Amino acid sequence: MKQLSLIDDIGTLHTFDKVPQRIISLVPSQTELLVGLGLESYIVGITKFCVHPKDLRSEKQIVGGTKKVDYDKIRTLAPDIIICNKEENTLEMVETLHTICTVWVTDIVTVEDNFKMISDFGNLFDCVAEAENWNRKLAFALSDFKNFIQNKTVKKVAYFIWKNPYMVAGSGNFINELLQLNHFENAFANQQRYPEIELQNLNVNDDLDFVFLSSEPYPFKEKDALEMTCFTNSAKCILVDGEMFSWYGSRLLKAFDYFKELHQKL
């Protein structure tokens, strides 16, 4: 291959003399995408949270989580490239990993960012045809979903991601993007990222239609939904699949079907 120069999502220019052959992925959704692009045999290390495909953790070396990794274990694996994400991984981690090998950092906030990431991976790993195929499928599914949702009434929601302290999705993240796509008005879109809130403050949202309790990163259960009803006035508490609202990459294709089912249940 000719020398390839690409800029990642945080503006770092990377130059490659050959296609990276040994990949460590520190983002579960991006691990799933790499497998979907036919790159499973190139993956040498993953996180303990890389649960899709389900047998991957028994076949690949686990190097830690998304916030803390075993640097010695990573060095031993001799990777050519480490795939990170601005939100999922820490700046300190990325800076340390740079001393080992090339670190490619994504920053996914919009659906368009997702398309770009897939295209970037296609160029980066010489699987352009596979990447284009995924983007075609996702573009078709997105268009289909927009037709499905276009006449749906906008509903106001609060999307919880954590307990003790309670945290919700604000704006400037992929969850908020998918809420908007679903005609869900985010009650906390006036705050950035993932603000902490007091449950008593939910009562000020008299027009709140739904409270979504995500399955990840905090695994909310039915008992949490019951507890929450004391603070929600007339809003209905719903347990939702966090992977569908927060995982980018190839997972988005399944998410559109999940969203259709969710709307039919509401």
Q: Residue 186: left (phi > 0), alpha (psi -120 to 50), or beta?
A: beta
Q: 39 and 119 in one domain?
A: yes
pLDDT, tens digit, 9 for 90 and up, residues 111-146: 999 999 999 999 999 999 999 999 999 999 999 999
* Terminal-residue alpha carbon distance, the chain: 52
Pick from 141, 163, 193: which residue ends a domain?
141
Residue 260 to residue 254: CA distance in whole angstroms: 10
User: Among 141, 162, 181, where does a domain finish?
Assistant: 141
- Alpha carbons 89 and 86: distance in angstroms, whole number: 6
Task: Report yes or no: 81 and 101 within 8 Å, Cβ to Cβ.
Answer: yes
Contacts of 222 (CB under 8 A, 6+ apart): 239
Q: How many whole angstroms from its chain centre is CA 46?
A: 15
Nearest to 40 by CA among 102, 112, 130: 130
| Residue range of the domain that includes 97 | 4-141
Render pLDDT for 2-39 as a digit per residue (tens, 0 to 9): 789 999 999 999 999 999 999 999 999 999 999 999 99
Q: Which of 120, 141, 162 delimits the end of a domain? A: 141
Indicate if 102 and 27 belong to the same structural domain.
yes
CATH number for the domain spanning 104: value is 3.40.50.1980
pTM of the model: 0.95
- Whether 78 and 12 map to the same domain: the answer is yes
Does 165 share its domain with 229? yes
**For residue 147, is it within any domain?**
no
